[in-house]
Structure 1
Amino acid sequence: MLKRMLIIYNPVAGQRKFQKLMPVAEQILGDAGYDVTLIPTTEEAKSATKIAKQGAKDGFEVIVAAGGDGTVNDVVNGLMQVATPPIFGVLPVGTTNDFARALQMAKDPIDALNIMAARNTVAVDVGKANNDYFINNAAGGKITEITYAVKESLKNKIGRLAYLFSGISMLPKLAPKKVTVTHDEGVFEGEILLLFGSLTNSVGGMEQLCPPAVFNDGKMDLLLLKKVSPAKLLKLLASIKSGAHLESEDVVYVRTKKVQITCKTSLNISYDGVYGGETPYELEVLPEKLQVLADAKRIQHRLHN
């Protein structure tokens, strides 16, 4: 039986990569028994959210986000506005593709299309951030602003280097924020440079920041980087590759179902690289809330049995 699939694509993501792939995508997915409808996002804010919500109401059984992490987030927020969300799919044609990378789908869009064509799914947790949703991570701190401050035109010109250049320019501006963070294991009060509440192991293209993360165990990996000197910060960043940063006295690392964040001044929060506003914030994990097209064998070590 044909399954109705809606592909919501960002026409400018990844140097317009999807438009080049469109004929191949329709061929592979059509041969796999999908009745494919394609709708582009627009410049209107949250257009993908509105399209996804309407698509779910119109009875599409599968809705795919073709773009980067911002498009993925917008589509997820649309799906979460219906009582029973359709199956979700990700075609990684953006700049960083964190969620698709975590699903082991990010290196080659053709590979991702073939995984979707197999029609296998896994259940994944979804995060709730106040009244919005995220599927990869929520983050706070000055350096995280690069994820939503980098212009689309610059990303299209130089790809992931855009984040590197923006990150270097922000290093002198890094300032600690005094926060109170309440989680399942207790309360942290003090100054931090960074905060991550992650549902997967892939953050900003790094796959070792939260290496124990599991897709469907009902918990997020909460990581707080305390106030440190620039030299110590660079040393900590260098230790991420080995995972040694999780043992540092300058890092708080816990696994938790809920997090409450307050700040005496203000702390910007982003989720899946999208600006989400300022504290106070409450983060919560919604267990196995979405079915996602994926190859379970590739990510078996990240699934809770």
Structure 2
Amino acid sequence: MLIIYNPVAGQRKFHKLMPVAEQVLGDAGLEVTLIPTTEEAKSATKIAKQGALDGFEMIVAAGGDGTVNDVVNGLMQVEVPPIFGVLPVGTTNDFARALGMAKDPLEALHIIAGRETIKVDVGKADDQFFINNAAGGKITEITYAVKESMKNKIGRLAYLLSGISMLHKLGPKQVKIIHDTGVFEGEILLLFGALTNSVGGMEKLCPPAVLNDGQMDLLILKKVSPAKLLKLLAAIKAGTHLASEDVVYVRTKKVYIECEMSLNISYDGVYGGETPYTLEVLPEKLAILADVTRIEHRLQK
């Protein structure tokens, strides 16, 4: 097993956990190699790709959603990717939440040591990949605009403070979105192409999402007033927003998005470029370490 870890993620959690990780996984009969990421862009992607080429049977991302995304992008560059694993030691850990991984890293280690696997879908956008969601709109810039140092100091509060500072910039965008069952044209505040139920720490954003059904849950939030936006945020917390007339919700295998002006997109919270772009689902592309009993309700029967 190769563990690729972000040494500064989640207030440097993995440094404290490292000796325990080696012991737990070693006791489970696993030979473990640890490699830290560096400040070089996409270093985890390069490490993961080389690890796959070197023949590691399992590659685990120890960090937050950015580290997870980088490692997935490395694994997807080989014909037959090794088994993937996630050790959640980041700030938000969206994909780990969707995967039912324990919030306690020690408990998550024991799940990884159990070696039980499921196959999950992977999203593709041109030459980039995502495993949790793709998102477009000004508010999504929060996820990659917050500095690592700020997250280490105040944790998830960093995202809230950044979000408040951006509220005055939340202008709508005129878009055209083509999906499997139709076309949407109009002004929007944001959109999500989600493979899981958890986005930005909100585990009810896409309640119907299934990890391995080959479908993407497309959510489009139309242009609304600030008062309506606050009501929608409350509805999201309650999980009732999909019934709103201001939300378009469809399930699709492919999405094409264009915008009259530039529209930024992020993949798993990492900046991914601007429109136009096409998103598609690669069904059950990765085998991943997980406790199936925790997520049976999120798997295709």
TM-score (norm 2): 0.99
Partner of 1:234: 230
Q: Give, in angstroms, the shift of residue 87 of structure 1.
A: 0.1
Q: Work out which of the residue numbers 247, 251, 254 in structure 1 matches 2:250.
A: 254
Are 1:245 and 2:241 an aligned pair? yes
Following superposition of structure 1 onto structure 2, how do residues 103-122 of structure 1 map, counting pairs within 5 Å? 103-122=99-118
Distance 1:106 1:185 in 2: 37
Q: Which residue identity lines up with residue 252 of structure 1 in the other structure?
A: V
Q: Deviations over 1:213-265 (max 9, x none)?
A: 00000001000000000010000000112222101111000010000000011
Q: Work out which of the residue numbers 292, 297, 304 in structure 1 matches 2:293.
A: 297
Are 1:208 and 2:204 an aligned pair? yes
Verify the 8 A CA contact 1:97 1:106 in the aligned structure 2.
no
Q: Deviations over 1:71-128 (max 9, x none)?
A: 0000000000000000000000000000001111141111110001111000000000
Distance 2:102 2:147 in 1: 22
Q: Work out which of the residue numbers 157, 163, 169 in structure 2 matches 1:161.
A: 157
Distance 2:237 2:151 in 1: 25
Are 1:277 and 2:288 an aligned pair? no
Following superposition of structure 1 onto structure 2, how do residues 16-55 of structure 1 map, counting pairs within 5 Å? 16-55=12-51
Provide the secondary structure at the position in 2 that maps to 1:14. Answer: coil
Partner of 1:90: 86
Are 1:126 and 2:122 an aligned pair? yes
Distance 1:262 1:256 in 2: 17
Q: Deviations over 1:194-222 (max 9, x none)?
A: 10000000100000010100000000100
Partner of 1:224: 220
Partner of 1:66: 62
Q: Work out which of the residue numbers 175, 179, 186 in structure 2 matches 1:183.
A: 179
Q: Deviations over 1:17-39 (max 9, x none)?
A: 00100000000001111100000
Q: Which runs of 5+ in 2 are unaligned?
A: none
Q: Which residue identity lines up with residue 78 of structure 1 in the other structure?
A: G
Provide the secondary structure at the position in 1 that maps to 2:44. Answer: helix
Q: Give, in angstroms, the shift of residue 131 of structure 1.
A: 1.1
Q: Which residue identity lines up with residue 119 of structure 2 in the other structure?
A: A
Distance 2:43 2:151 in 1: 20
Verify the 8 A CA contact 1:209 1:243 in the aligned structure 2.
yes
Q: Which residue identity lines up with residue 129 of structure 2 in the other structure?
A: Y
Q: Deviations over 1:114-155 (max 9, x none)?
A: 001111000000000121000000000000000000000000
Partner of 2:8: 12
Provide the secondary structure at the position in 1 that maps to 2:144. Answer: helix
Structure 1 runs, 4 residues or longer, greater than 6 Å off: none
Q: Work out which of the residue numbers 140, 145, 159 in structure 1 matches 2:141.
A: 145
Aligned length: 301
Verify the 8 A CA contact 1:137 1:200 in the aligned structure 2.
yes
Distance 2:66 2:125 in 1: 15
Q: Which residue identity lines up with residue 171 of structure 1 in the other structure?
A: L
Distance 1:258 1:106 in 2: 31
Distance 1:187 1:110 in 2: 46
Q: Which runs of 5+ in 1 are unaligned?
A: none
Distance 1:9 1:178 in 2: 40
Are 1:199 and 2:195 an aligned pair? yes
Provide the secondary structure at the position in 2 that maps to 1:127. Answer: strand
